Structure 1
Amino acid sequence: MDLIKGFYSLTKSVCPRSSDCSISRGGFAIWGFNSSVSVKSCSRVSIGYVKLKNGSPLVSFSRFGKFRLCGSVQLGRFLTSYDEDEMSEELFEAIEELERMVRDPADVLDAMNNRLSSRELQLVLVYFSQEGRDSWCALEVFEWLQKENRVDEETMELMVSIMCGWFKKMIEEEHVVGDVIDLLVEMDCVGLKPTFSMIEKVVSLYWDMGKKETAVLFVREILGRGIAYTVNDAEGSKGGPTGYLAWKMMADGDFCNAVKLVIDFRERGLRPDVYSYLMAMTAVVKELNEVSKALRKLKGFIKAGSVAELDAENLNLTDNYQSDLLADGVLLSNWIIQEKSSLNVGVVHERLLAMYVCAGRGLEAEQQLWEMKFSGREPDAELFNMVLAICASQQESSAVARLLAGVEATSSMQRKKTLSWLLRGYIKGGHFHDALKTITKMLDMGLHPEYLDRVAVLQGLRKSLQESGNLEPYLELCKRLSDANLVGPCLVYLYINSHKLWIIKML
């Protein structure tokens, strides 16, 4: 095998988040970690050789040149320039021995253990991480460093940066997913365990390069081959690779495919982690919320006369779409419960509650509210009020009575807030006689309904009066509001067609 004739240029493969590293043939970057300072120079080293009469090589090293400008090398943190006078003959000897591959790398390094500094061992890693060099040797060197307990924080960060660069280059060059996974396995075998998930890093690289289908294939292969990964079990975690991929989809607004991804993996028997199910339930909530917002906009356009009313077929399609999403959410919640994980079941009921609230399903939302409470996760008052309003809009009187139980025992401010939600629920559902009873109850408690709520109920009762001819509810509300000084004196006009008679009453 040819002897070393020079150090080849570093490439992007060792610069994970970096700009290009432009170093000429015969030179290499010498770098250590130094928070936020980019490298401005690099030493140039030439290695020459002659052969003895017996054919064995005799290596000699000559150094020349001072420092020259080269492209900056970014590795999250940067290595400072390394003085060429500090480079020992042992460094070059170690590299030359390792390149010969005559002995096992561990044997070579064992023999030179006390002669190489930590910085020189970092340079050995850098040298073998270059394109065209034997990357396997870099992994062997790192494994030896781990065994000798010589991996400090700087060395770990350097090796992680090198690995990230290798993954990035493999993905750019469209290596098959199996090759990327094999490198992950090798990384784990040599004890390289960064503080973050390298699997998530690879998923992110695929995703950010627009290789989204390959990212899905990569995660599927990870699960299929049983590659170990860690899951942070703190609430709100993205989970393992499946949950992280679903989160990436959600960040792009692709909520439906995030749900389908997790369900598809589970149905293939790949058993994603429990947090991925929770992430998919969150995607269901977000999709239902988007549907709800779209329907509210549509109703606004219909009311303004910009578009026609939805026909029965379209209404049925909308309802079916929401029902399918809810069914997916229930399926995911069942899988979480089956896993019997340490995850608080109350979190599951909280997601189900959010789903039913977004879909406007009052009774189902109320059930999840109590389930959440009984599981030990106390819902806040706002959740009770939201469910109360939905049940009121659907005139679910039994549910309203249950949710209002104990409202008298709360503070005056909380009572007004709760009854205001109830009132608006009745207004939204068009139940103005129930709204009248709510206003009466509030006034009896010494609470004043908001101005817009009062106006909405008056308008609703006036419209009802025109349809039914029943004047009493409207007059009753006007009188109660007048007695509470919430409206000024007013005249009520009534015209009787059969007698052509106007009746005027002052309140």
Structure 2
Amino acid sequence: MDSAHGFTSLIQLGLSSPSSSFSLHRHPIFAPPICQNLAGRFYPRVCPIIYCRHQNPYFIVTKQSKFREFRLFKSVELDQFLTSDDEEEMGEGFFEAIEELERMTREPSDVLEEMNERLSARELQLVLVYFSQEGRDSWCALEVFEWLRKENRVDKETMELMVSIMCSWVKKLIEEERDVGDVVDLLVDMDCVGLKPSFSMMEKVISLYWEMGEKERSVLFVKEVLRRGIACSEDDGDGHKGGPTGYLAWKMMAEGNYMGAVKLVVNIRESGLKPEVYSYLIAMTAVVKELNEFAKALRKLKGFAKDGLVAEVDTENAGLIKKYQSDLLAVGVRLSNWITQEGSSSLSGVVHERLLAMYVCAGRGLEAERQLWEMKLVGKEADGDLYDIVLAICASQKEASAIARLLTRLEATSSLRKKKSLSWLLRGYIKGGHFDNAAETVFKMLDLGLPPEYLDRAAVLQGLRRRIHRSGGLETYLKLCKRLSDNNLIGPCLLYLYIKKYKLWIIKMI
């Protein structure tokens, strides 16, 4: 009797007396396919017609009582949607339409077509609300919406109403921990009837899973969408197509789970599914962030070791550190190869930009320099600061050829730009402990009339002094002191030299 409940709930069947005989004859039209509504109940698409042999001929259902009966089926949608003015707007045609649709003896489109002239836009919206309630045939609401769309009667308010209804259905399925396949089925049905919200329903579902703490189920949902091959890419405005895999990876990355985002994309790709190309870029960004965080942790560790708080990194741990960085870089390169294979040439510049960021974070000077030129070849010019950072990395590793290539771009730049780039070069040499090269850079800057900053000058002098104590070699230090003094960057210096063999102190003013 469930199938008849919706019909009999709208109108009260009047009986002549309590003792009157009342019998129902069920005449099945045909054996219909069974569909399940969102409340978990099964309804046939076409129900048996129920005939009342003895009805009270004096039974009259007024419009007012029908309205009150309609309000009995309260739901979130009804409470939010119905107003006090709706009572006047709900005519007899509205209730007849509900009754005919509840009978399920004809296609909803046929019923609505027949009563088209008798139903206002508001009444059609109320029909949607009615069938969206728990216990009703939810598929009927979708069919009503499809008919409205075909008749070009879906305005902004109706679209927003249907989207709200769909979102509530999706949320209910997730809250009830229904199979992810049921959620995907609902989204497919939504697409079939032409419901196109202004946002991505895929992203909405992933967000709902995520906010409810169902992170594993969000992964299963994405895999199910990909397994079915559902088209769900969204344009981000720059010509890049996003999708569920990339969005879920982004959600993970936003929480700081960078490796989780990388593993998600890689595992989906290697399992035989085909995530959207844009997800590879998201994963490459996660690799960059992981390398950056790892580099920060290493700097802190070295600082603690320098202060004597922890032991120095031994050979074994140094090898593990290097391997971890190498593995991350290898994953990033693999992701870039997938983009090249499956994506368009317009993504080449972005790919090289991500690779550049990866190599910079890992401190790989030569590889980073190569990506700078690769970007230039595809028409994407890197920012000048990136050239300076790569220059400093190459200087710290004393990569003479790369340094020479990078310095060629300074010939046509302004004095301010030259000073900034040479300062980065100087700091790179200082970081790598190459103080002779650092001194030569200071000389070059002085020749160009671009004196280095005080802290940079002091760092070079300090490094050269330490080297004198360890291995001797005064010439570079004396030359640097004289040049700085000549440019009024330091005052006169007194140099004390002790010759142990002769027990002789020599004092010289520079």
**TM-score, length basis structure 2:** 0.86
Q: Would you say 1:442 and 2:420 are equivalent positions?
A: no
Please give the residue correspondences for 1:195-206 in structure 2 after superposition, counting only pairs within 5 Å. 195-206=198-209
Q: Distance in 2 between matches of 1:463 and 1:140?
A: 84
Aligned to 2:136, the other structure's residue is in SS state: coil
Aligned AA for 1:183?
Answer: L
Change beyond 3 A, Cα 1:230–1:455? same
Q: More deviation in 403-412 or 386-395?
A: 403-412
Are 2:200 and 1:207 equivalent residues in the alignment? no
Deviation at 1:409?
Answer: 2.3
Aligned partner (choices 382, 391, 394) of residue 391 of structure 1: 394
Does residue 378 (structure 1) correspond to residue 365 (structure 2)? The answer is no
Contact 2:226 2:275 in 1 (8 A): yes
Contact 2:262 2:287 in 1 (8 A): yes
For the residue of structure 2 that corresponds to 1:405, the secondary structure is helix
Task: Decide which of 152, 156, 162 is 2:155's aligned counterpart.
Answer: 152
Unaligned runs of 5+ in 2: 12-36, 39-50
Give the Cα separation in 2 of the matches to 1:319 and 1:308.
Answer: 18
Letter of the 2:112 partner, please give it: L
Question: Take 1:337 and 1:294, find their aligned partners in 2: how far apart are those partners?
Answer: 32
- 1:61 positional shift: 3.2
Evaluate the alpha carbon distance shift between residue 151 and residue 346 of structure 1 in structure 2; reply closer, same or farther with a 3 A threshold: same
Q: Report if the CA contact (8 A) 2:63-2:91 is conserved.
A: no
- 2:148 aligned with 1:141, yes or no? no
Structure-2 residue corresponding to 1:23: none
Task: Tell me which residue corresponds to 1:61.
Answer: 63
Separation (CA, whole Å) in 2 of partners of 1:352 and 1:234? 23
Distance in 2, Cα, partners of 1:452 & 1:301: 23
Q: Which residue of structure 2 aligns with residue 103 of structure 1? A: 106
CA drift at 1:302: 1.0
Instruction: Note the C-alpha offset of 1:478.
Output: 1.1
Tell me which residue corresponds to 1:247.
250
Matched residues in 1 for 2:163 and 2:412: separation? 59
**Corresponding residue pairs, total:** 462
- Asked if structure 2 preserves the Cα contact closer than 8 Å seen for 1:52 and 1:58, the reply is no
Change (3 A) 1:79 1:444: farther
Q: Could you tell me which amino acid in structure 1 is paired with residue 254 of structure 2?
A: A
Match of 1:169 in 2: 172
Is 1:238–1:279's contact at 8 Å kept on the other side of the alignment? no
Helix, strand or coil at the partner of 1:5: helix
Q: Deviations over 1:11-69 (max 9, x none)?
A: xx99xxxxxxxxxxxxxxxxxxxxxxxxxxxxxxxxxxx9784689964432588xx9x
In the alignment, the residues of structure 2 paired with residue 320 and residue 80 of structure 1 have an alpha-carbon distance, to the nearest angstrom, of 66
Amino acid at match of 1:463: R
Give the match for residue 329 of structure 1: 332
Q: Against the structure 1 CA distance between its residues 342 and 398, is the aligned structure 2 distance closer, same or farther, given a 3 Å change threshold?
A: closer
> What do residues 64-110 of structure 1 show as CA deviations (whole Å, max 9, x unaligned)?
88xx9xx99699x9886544222222222212221122222111111
Aligned with 1:395: secondary structure?
coil
Whether the aligned pair in 1 keeps the contact of 2:97 and 2:115 (CA below 8 Å) is yes
Q: Shift in Å at residue 234 of structure 1? A: 3.8
Using the alignment, how far apart are the partners of 2:308 and 2:84 within structure 1? 71
Corresponding residue for 1:187?
190
Distance in 2 (CA, whole Å) between partners of 1:317 and 1:235 is 40
Matches within 5 A, 1:398-477: 398-477=401-480
Structure with bigger RCO (C-alpha 8 Å, 6+ apart): 1
Q: Which residue of 2 aligns with 1:304?
A: 307
Opposite residue 420 of structure 1, the aligned amino acid is S
Correspondence for 1:495 among 495, 498, 502: 498
Name the CA distance, whole Å, in 1 between partners of 2:85 and 2:499.
102
Q: Is 1:5–2:17 an aligned residue pair?
A: no
Q: How far apart are the structure 2 equivalents of 1:432 and 1:242? A: 49
User: Which structure: greater helix fraction?
Assistant: 2
1:238·1:244 contact (CA, 8 Å) conserved in 2? Answer: no
Bigger Rg, structure 1 or 2:
2
Aligned pairs (5 A) from 1:88-127: 88-127=91-130
- Identical aligned pairs, as a percentage? 70
Aligned-residue CA RMSD (Å): 2.5
CA distance in 2, matches of 1:447, 1:317: 42
Distance across 2 between alignment mates of 1:417 and 1:214: 51
Residue 43 of structure 1 corresponds to: none
TM superposition score normalised by structure 1:
0.86
Q: Matched residues in 2 for 1:213 and 1:458: separation?
A: 58
- Unaligned regions of 5+ residues in structure 1, if any? 8-12, 15-49
Q: Distance in 1 between matches of 2:457 and 2:82?
A: 70
